[in-house]
Structure 1
């Protein structure tokens, strides 16, 4: 059976897009390979020398090279060795076309040829070898593309992880004085401009425990820490629930303010509601403390006014602080409050709009404040029917 008959019987599907470079100094051989390959869908380009082949490979993508061994100038062996020496073409399939015997075939393999075809070649064998090596090339290209994509995604993942680590570090810093939802929003938007010094009308809340100093002097350190742990956990949860900005915990003292950084149109009302909830929760804690022989009460001072706010401290230890008379007034009202008392300044009272039951205590002299402050005590809330 002739080679043409074999090719006819096993007529393959066209090879769409497989790029073949034919390298042969004889025009008749080049035309023959064109005639065999092109009707079957291969994209064939041919050159007459090894030098031309290397020039084509330097600027064009090829899937398989059909390379004649015996050529003037750069022969097939030297051309194949040059192809293998270039990283871009080191894995390019090369088929050596030779009429010589075993020794030259061995040499072809030694210089890096993937396969060889003997002249005169069998068309079916030639097509099978070219298809097989083209599949290998395409698989190799796929692996290279996937590796490049993987490297890209690894780099992108590293970048994202680094960004997330930065975000977590920022979130950790911000959550020291902001509620989780506000800190998360700032991390998401990337806006930290509020950390710069600025002036804002805020409502400030100071709280502490009545009798704590005497308690700490007589109690065991472990008892003191247990009381503070419960106290901080309870009040901290309420600060975050009301979206207040926590300036600091200092022993039994706590300072929170509203209307900075996030705007808060109902700052006085929110501050008072938080204080009332805190008082109720501390009442529950106080029951437990009394069973252990600890007599502790809870006092609150709330004031409204302008303050300068921003980041204070040094690298590695920053705080977000409010500085101004309003913070001093709130602290002094807290000092003046008896157990379970919530004392407020006139501006806070004006912002409540009658939704709370209050009692006037008259002007009070507060330490460090130049003029007496007209103080009111918050008793509780007023329901829709006017009952407290």
Structure 2
């Protein structure tokens, strides 16, 4: 790569001397020289030729001297390196030049061997700066891309690290998965005006993403109204199950507030349903060399999606597996039952996580007592659930179990389509 050097000096013979002394390196295209007779001419050259890398300037020149030129370059916040060459080699000039950003200082008469050594040293400095700027630009581009998926903390760490050594490669690992979806979204798309739908979705996805990032989760996919979230990927999170449950509860709270707020504007936005499961999954960048698509595949992912869909039948908004509940520190929730999910033959115990206040409520204790009777095959489960529904009509899960019992079902195992 050719380094372009601007020599600023009013000596008439210097032009030819420089070209003569550096002719070999010019012929090899290692350096190229431009010339200006004073600071004003130099500033015009710099503006016309922004590729100039290095400036070699005298101090004593007409119209604008070298120290004034340095001051102008400093005001312009230019990254160009400058070597001051002057017969005025006293400490005041040296100090002023350095304070105004000069990289080095040589005295006249010019010793061209010293000048060449100083130019080489400055070129190495320029190359280091270029490499640092290149790395910074790459990191900024990587951070911008990674910020679509990861919280700011994780994105910054990944952008500054070697991706292949920090979880981007496809591999098996234990993860917690959250799936969210919105009821009636297809009808909303068909009925809403494009500008309203755009505002709705942008605010919704942005808000949901903010909640995920607050828990340092990874947004693996956003497909229309559906959001897929991962924990314990790409980095290690020993408390990933607890994070996932806390995140699910906060997502539910935010989505309900969002739904009710838009309802006051006359827009019927559906309820957000959430499914959470944990287990092994194939995780990594599946985008090949041209795209970045950090996501996960496997039975764990499919199970989380089916738990999300189960909410539609159960009347709940959040449904988590026993795997998640059992791994969560001080899990607060109530049992739903043993679900045989679509495409499965073995049941999976599911729970509805609750906020602390709801968990402590008397109705939760009533539900737990009724569920225990249901699980034990006790005939008094029907009046227990009936009593709960009569005093708490807005509990859809209690109503679901009562309806099952009245239709002749027994126990807590249930087939879901």
TM-score by length of 1: 0.61
3-state SS of the aligned residue for 1:195?
A: coil
1:287: Cα distance to partner? 1.8
The equivalent position to 2:168 in structure 1, one of 187, 195, 200, is: 195
Within-5 A mapping of 1:229-248: 229-248=202-221
Within-5 A mapping of 1:206-245: 206-245=179-218
The answer to whether the aligner puts 1:172 opposite 2:172 as a matched pair is: no
1:321: Cα distance to partner? 1.7
Match of 2:334 in 1: 359
Match of 1:183 in 2: 155
2-structure distance, mates of 1:85, 1:283 = 75
1:325: Cα distance to partner? 0.8
After superposition, what is the alpha-carbon deviation per residue over 1:177-209, rounded to whole angstroms, capped at 9, x for unaligned? 222211211222324332222111111001111
The answer to whether the aligner puts 1:297 opposite 2:238 as a matched pair is: no
Match of 2:301 in 1: 327
Match of 1:137 in 2: 109
* Contact 2:331–2:353 under 8 Å retained in 1: no
The equivalent position to 2:259 in structure 1, one of 275, 281, 286, is: 286
Cα 1:364/1:88, change in 2 over 3 Å: closer
Match of 2:344 in 1: 369
Q: Considering only CA atoms, is the larger Rg found in Structure 1 or Structure 2?
A: 1
* Contact 1:195–1:320 under 8 Å retained in 2: yes
After superposition, what is the alpha-carbon deviation per residue over 1:50-85, rounded to whole angstroms, capped at 9, x for unaligned? xxxxxxxxxxxxxxxxxxxxxxxxxxxxxxxxx999
Cα 1:209/1:136, change in 2 over 3 Å: same
Match of 2:324 in 1: 348
Cα 1:383/1:137, change in 2 over 3 Å: farther
After superposition, what is the alpha-carbon deviation per residue over 1:282-311, rounded to whole angstroms, capped at 9, x for unaligned? 122112211223142111100011111122
1:362: Cα distance to partner? 0.8
1-structure distance, mates of 2:164, 2:357 = 39
2-structure distance, mates of 1:293, 1:84 = 75
Cα 1:385/1:303, change in 2 over 3 Å: closer
1:215: Cα distance to partner? 1.2
3-state SS of the aligned residue for 1:157?
A: helix
The answer to whether the aligner puts 1:157 opposite 2:129 as a matched pair is: yes
* Contact 2:316–2:352 under 8 Å retained in 1: no
* Contact 1:309–1:323 under 8 Å retained in 2: yes
* Bigger mean CA deviation after superposition, 144-153 or 169-178: 144-153
1-structure distance, mates of 2:298, 2:121 = 57
2-structure distance, mates of 1:211, 1:140 = 79
Where structure 1 has 5 or more consecutive residues not aligned to the other structure, the ranges are 1-82, 90-130
* Contact 2:221–2:228 under 8 Å retained in 1: yes
1-structure distance, mates of 2:179, 2:279 = 14
2-structure distance, mates of 1:372, 1:84 = 85
1:347: Cα distance to partner? 0.6
* Contact 2:21–2:112 under 8 Å retained in 1: no
Match of 2:230 in 1: 257
1:343: Cα distance to partner? 0.4
3-state SS of the aligned residue for 2:292?
A: strand
Cα 1:154/1:250, change in 2 over 3 Å: same
Cα 1:385/1:210, change in 2 over 3 Å: closer
Cα 1:329/1:148, change in 2 over 3 Å: same
Tell me the number of residue pairs that the alignment of Structure 1 and Structure 2 aligns.
264
1:384: Cα distance to partner? 12
